[in-house]
């Protein structure tokens, strides 16, 4: 039973990563985001009004700004969700490249 659970876990990891690999060739490119700001807030109520009304994942993005919720740790550092930050960064990259980056809301 234990070996089956491990195999299922490995299969899940491999299949989730396989969606990212590209079978269609393309030329590499660089997305330059000038003056990108990441705002770390204690809660979503501190997000700009437009972000608060439709946001549900703990993050929000505008053209060169990202807002994420952070949680203070006992050692004084702030944890942020890498998944949320990556999701919002994908939005910014998409806007910078006029839609060349896939919309993270449509997987």
Q: What is the pLDDT of residues 10-30, one digit of tens each?
A: 434 444 444 566 688 888 888
pLDDT band at 83 (very low <50, low <70, confident <90, very high): very high
Is the predicted pLDDT of residue 74 greater than 60, yes or no? yes
67 in Cβ contact with 74 (< 8 Å): no
Instruction: Determine whether 88 is exposed, middle or buried from the number of CB atoms within 10 Å of its CB (0-12, 13-18, 19+).
Output: buried
Average pLDDT value for residue range 88-99? 89
* Torsion angle in degrees (nearest 10) through CA of 95, 101, 104, 107: 150
Tokens linked to 58:
């703990």
pLDDT of amino acid 19? 55
Tokens linked to 3:
């070996």
- DSSP state letter for 49: H
């Amino acid at each position: 039973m234990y070996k089956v659970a491990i195999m299922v876990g490995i299969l899940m990891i491999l299949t989730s990563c396989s969606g990212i690999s590209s079978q269609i060739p393309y030329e590499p490119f660089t997305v330059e985001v000038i003056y990108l700001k990441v705002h770390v807030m204690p809660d979503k109520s501190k997000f700009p009004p437009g972000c608060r009304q439709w946001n549900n994942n703990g993050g929000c993005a505008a053209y060169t700004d990202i807002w994420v919720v952070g949680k203070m740790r006992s050692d004084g550092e702030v944890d942020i969700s890498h998944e949320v930050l990556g999701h919002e960064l994908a939005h910014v990259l998409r806007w910078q490249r006029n839609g060349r980056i896939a919309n993270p809301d449509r997987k």
